[in-house]
Structures are given as structure tokens and as C-alpha cells.
Amino acid sequence: MDGRQDKVAGAMKLLADGDREGATVLLRAALADAPDDPDGLHGMACVARASGRPDLAIGLAGRAIAILPAAHFHITLGCALQEQGHLEPARAALHVATLREPRDPRAHAALAAVLGESGRWGEAEASLRAALDLRPADTALLLDWGRAAVLAGGTDVVPRLAAGRFVAEDAGRLHELAGLLSERGRNAQAERLYRLVRDLCPERGAAWANHGAVLFALNRHEDALAALEQADRLAPDVAETLNNLGLVLMALGHLPRAGEVLARARRAAPDDVRIAINDATILADLGEDGEADRLLRGVLADPVAAGGMEGVRAVFNRGTLLLARGDLAEGWRSFEARTLLLPETRWPDIGPWDGSALPHGRLLLHAEQGIGDAIQFLRYLPLCLRRVRVVLVLPPSLHRLARTMPDPDGLIASPCLLLPPGASVPDDVVARCGLLSLPYLLDVAEVPPFAPYLLPSGVEGAAFRVGVCWAGNPAFRFDRRRSIAPAMLAPLGDVAGLRFVSLQHGAVAEDRPFAMETVGMGDWLETAQVIAGLDLVVTVDTAIAHLAGAMGRPVWLLNRFGGDWRWSEAFDRAEPPRWGNGTSRWYPSLEQFRQTEPEEPDDAWRAPIRMLCGALARWRRGDL
């Protein structure tokens, strides 16, 4: 190596150590001996970049390339062009670098950076994959690849990331990557990365808190509880941790403790309206409606909070409070806030209905939320059809059942079209509306008079056959509070003289509490036909309760403390219950066996189940 090369090599070492001035001195000396030396020119381009002068670097690198088109000169030129905002010329220069030296991972990584900045994340991911193949142990490259792969919407990044040898200093970037996955609804992948961050930083409360939050999003409530409790131990009184911990406790049915934790969260962040709304929710579940209402009205009194989405959420939550009190007029109005929280996106070109007559078109009336909601609010369909013609959109599993609605006056058959699955919306549809909006838009401020409106006639039950449903949809965040562990229902099987039939849908149907008959249940019409042949239905708060009630069949509802607004005491019938401790104006054939105290989950169902077993024995004997 001659003296000039020694100067350039020494300058590049000084530059790598952060000594720009020393590097400049050596490079100028080298260029004084040979002004057109490409390595010296390239070295000066690197100094210019390090000094925040990519404009000078572009010219210097260009001169070097004109003399010797080396791959690493193209890398420097491409990076300088990127820093100046010239993305397409930068991409071209870096593409040349990968062609000239395909074994240089720096070229592929630099090209990926430009492609990513251009929004071409699929190509960026491919370039980073090529760089990783050349340098598989480089964790920085691995994290860059993971980010590009997520932004490209590609495959599961976690298996490859799991092979990385990360250290605590990588936790920040892993956390950012987990956040990207969560934002895109890929929580199962995000959970594995948050767990990795937690394992890298086991003494950081925030790492446990983030892992707990994503576990809650995955409905892994017990795991979330353990993680959030550890987060609270490591970093006490962090409002966000306490907020999530309170929600998890609420979902698991630990209501008093959830109230205590959310009260702590509110003390830690008294101005956080999200926490205030969550605290109001648990207060309502604990039966403290007045305090819950006070909190929600406080949120709505703040012009800033009231004008945002948290204000919308407060209106909705207050609507459920009002409905639970039986204030239907104001309750239905506030309940409409759900359409802003969960906007309907399937028909963006069809505007919402305002409740008026439509003389020149039809209304698209669609189901929303769960099957039970659709069944309950189909009772308003005849009232709607007195005002407008309807195209009805229901889940396919409800189609055959909906066709059993009685129609003595021809009110349904002519003005209502049940849209077949996959069919296009007719051209004459001019407005849309969710089923749950009908009471508000039709100005129905009382529970409508009841007559069975789904499969109203059927085979009468015989031989004391009792259908049982013990669990709802496990995807519902608070399903653990409404569903019952099968083993807890085992005492029902000891009631003599009854034949039990499983009405349980889904995977949990195989885990029966005791020996019982199983029947084929395909769509909801087949389920209704099974119910028509029963003497009694016993169920938790699921669509089965609504279906049996809508058919006018006897149904006993096992209901949680602080349950859904529609089962509140405000909707009990005037006459006392015959068997349980509650009734329902929504379905006169329904009686409730309510939890009466906010007890711990292992204890909360014991009293209602004892009451139910006693009622079953009396019912079997014919006692009143």
C-alpha cells in the first residue's frame, strides 16, 4: 500500500471513530498528491455526508464513480441522494451497487431504505431478505426486515425474529415492531414480540404492562392479569397499567376489585377521560348507577372531551345506563352513538335513514352486532314496514328462521325483500339503517306488545325435555362473566325426572356438564325447531335466550350481576316471577335467575344455580 492509500485508509478509520476533522486533513493530503484519486474523492464524499452536506457528497461521489464505478461508491451516492430527497435517482444508484457487488449486504440494505421511504415495502422486504442471507447474525438488519415485512403486509415475521440473538438494547425496536403488528390487528404475532421484550427487560414495569395489554386483546385474561399485576408491582400507580388491569378484572368477574383498581387509575390520571368512562362502566356494573352517571356527565360537560370520540363513547355508555333504567326515549337517542363508534362501512354510497317515509325508494335494513341482537330487534320489522319498503340483510344462518315470521296482514311478504347471500343491493335502495336503530327512528319509547314472532307454531314439548346452553361466543371480551363453567351446572343433572338436551353451539359443546342428549343444529331455524320440541330452555345470556323468547317458549335465563341493560329490573313485568327472581317485558315467557351480589366468579353462580335446581324440581312436580 503506497502513502496515498495509507492516508485514505487512515482517514476512513478516523471518520469511523467520529473524527471528521482528522479524516479531512488526511484526505486533503492524499488528494493534493492525486486530485483525481477515486478513493480520496469517495472519502471526501463520506466526510461530507457525515458533516450533514449530502449536496457536496453527491458531487464528490459522482466524480469518483466517473473514474472508477465501484459498488461502494454507488452506495455512498445513493445514500446522499436519499438524504437530499431524490428518491428515484437514489434507488437507481443503489440498484447499480447491488448489481456490481451482489455479495455486499450494505448495498441491499441501503436500497431497502430508499424503497421503504418510497412506500415500496414489498421490494424493501425482498432487499432486506437478501442482505440478511449475507449477514444472518445482524440483528439490526433482522429488525429492519421485520419492519418492512409488516408494512408490506406479508408473512408471519415472528418465527424468523425469534431466531435473533437480541439484547436489552434491542428492546425499543422490538417494542416498536410489536406496536406495528398490533395496529394492524396481528395481535398474536405482537404478543410474541412483547413477550420477548418482557424477557429482555424483566425489571421494567412497562414491558410487563405492554405484554398484558396485548394478552387482554387476545382474550387471554388470566395471562393478562398475571402480567399486569407484575407491571403494577414493578411500577405502581401507572394510570395506563391500572386502566388495563381494571378492565381485565372486570372481564374476569372480579367486580369489586376492578372498581378499586379503576378508582386508583382515576386518581393517578384524574383528567384522563378514557379512565373516567371505564370507571363509570364498572360503577354501573356494581349497581352504583348514580355515580356512574355523574362521571359520564362530567366527561360530556368538558367541551374538548365531548367533541371527540371519547365523548361519543360517554354518550353511548350513558345510553345503556338510561336504557337499563327504562328511560327508552332518551336511552335510544344516546344509544345511536354506537353508529359512530362502530361505523357501517359496507355500503359507503348509501346514506343513513332519518326515519321518514321513502316514497321513491327502499330502505336497506341490516343486522348489526350479534345474532341475539338481530333476533331481539326483528320484532320492530313490522312497525318499520308500515312506513317504508325494506331490503333486509341478515347473516345467512338467520335467513330460514326469518322467513317463519308470521304475516297475517301481508305486511312482511310484499314490502320486504330478504337479500340472498352475495346478492347485490338493488338500485332503488336510497337509505340504510341498522336493526338496533329502529326504536329510535320509529319513535317507539315503550317495549312493544309481545306476540311470538319467530317460528310461533311448532311441536309441543313432551316428557319434560329441557334444553341447556351454558356458554356464549368466547370471542366476546366479557364472555367469562356471562358463561358458566360446565362443571358448575352438574347439579342440574341430579334433578330427577328430566331429560336434558344440549343447545350449546361451538367448540365448547363437547364439554358437557353431564350426560345429555345431543341433537343436530345447523342454522338457526334448525335450532328453533329443536327448541319447539322442548318443554323448557335453560340458558345463559346468549342468542338462545332471545330465540326461545321470540318463539314464546318457556326460557329460564341465568343472568350475571350487572348484566346487559335489556335484562335489568326496569324491564321486569308487573307480575312477580313464578320460578326465579326476575322476569322480562321483552319476552313474557322468560324468567331470570339473577346473581344478586357482585361476588367472586367461583361463588357468583352458586346461589342462582341452587335456586334453578329447586325450581326445576318444583316445575317437574307441577308445584307453583
CATH number at 552 reads: 3.40.50.2000
Angle, vertex CA 520, rays to CA 517 and CA 524, nearest 5: 120
Higher pLDDT, 506 or 129: 129
Please check whether residues 409 and 515 belong to one and the same domain.
Answer: no
Segment (H or E) for 314:
helix 309-325
Please check whether residues 502 and 593 belong to one and the same domain.
Answer: yes
pLDDT-based confidence at residue 179 (cuts at 50, 70, 90): very high
Domain-located, residue 378: yes
Instruction: Give burial (CB, 10 Å; 0-12/13-18/19+) of 301.
Output: exposed
Please check whether residues 302 and 431 belong to one and the same domain.
Answer: no
Q: pLDDT at residue 72 above 50?
A: yes
Please check whether residues 497 and 435 belong to one and the same domain.
Answer: no
Q: pLDDT at residue 1 above 50?
A: no
Domain-located, residue 67: no
Please check whether residues 303 and 397 belong to one and the same domain.
Answer: no
Please check whether residues 303 and 369 belong to one and the same domain.
Answer: no
Tens digits of residue pLDDT in 526-585: 999 999 999 999 999 999 999 999 999 999 999 999 989 999 999 999 999 999 999 999
Q: pLDDT at residue 275 above 80?
A: yes
List of residues 6+ apart from 164 with CB closer than 8 A = 139, 142, 143, 170
pLDDT-based confidence at residue 230 (cuts at 50, 70, 90): very high
Please check whether residues 474 and 428 belong to one and the same domain.
Answer: no
Domain-located, residue 604: yes
Domain-located, residue 388: yes
Rg (CA), the chain: 33
Tens digits of residue pLDDT in 427-447: 999 999 999 999 999 999 999
User: Number of C-alpha atoms within 13 angstroms, CB side, residue 72?
Assistant: 11
pLDDT-based confidence at residue 417 (cuts at 50, 70, 90): very high
Q: pLDDT at residue 412 above 90?
A: no
Q: Which three cell numbers stand for residue 521?
A: 343444529
Provide long-range contacts, Cβ within 8 A and 24+ apart, for 120-125. 121/148, 121/151, 121/152, 121/153, 122/152, 122/154, 124/148, 124/151, 124/152, 125/149, 125/152, 125/154
The residue from 384, 406, 441 where one domain ends is: 441
Q: How far is 103 from 473, CA to CA, in rounded Å?
A: 53
Average pLDDT, integer, range 218-232: 97
Please check whether residues 400 and 474 belong to one and the same domain.
Answer: no
Q: Are 340 and 312 in contact (CB under 8 A)?
A: yes
Domain-located, residue 192: no
Please check whether residues 486 and 423 belong to one and the same domain.
Answer: no
Please check whether residues 475 and 592 belong to one and the same domain.
Answer: yes
How many domains are there within the chain?
3
Q: How far is 367 from 452, CA to CA, in rounded Å?
A: 20
Q: Return the percent helix, strand and coil in the chain, to nearest 5.
A: 60, 5, 35
Structural domain containing residue 293: 271-341
Q: Provide the mean pLDDT of the chain.
A: 93
The residue from 288, 311, 341 where one domain ends is: 341
Backbone angles phi, psi at 350, to 5 degrees: -110, 120
Q: Are 275 and 265 in contact (CB under 8 A)?
A: yes
Please check whether residues 486 and 589 belong to one and the same domain.
Answer: yes
Domain-located, residue 161: no
pLDDT-based confidence at residue 357 (cuts at 50, 70, 90): very high
pLDDT-based confidence at residue 450 (cuts at 50, 70, 90): very high
Please check whether residues 293 and 383 belong to one and the same domain.
Answer: no
Domain-located, residue 287: yes
The predicted pLDDT at position 623 comes to: 72
pLDDT-based confidence at residue 318 (cuts at 50, 70, 90): very high
Beta bridge partners, 518, equal 502
Q: pLDDT at residue 422 above 60?
A: yes
Domain-located, residue 500: yes
Sheet-wide strand order for 517-518: 517-518, 499-502, 465-469, 536-540, 555-559, 590-594
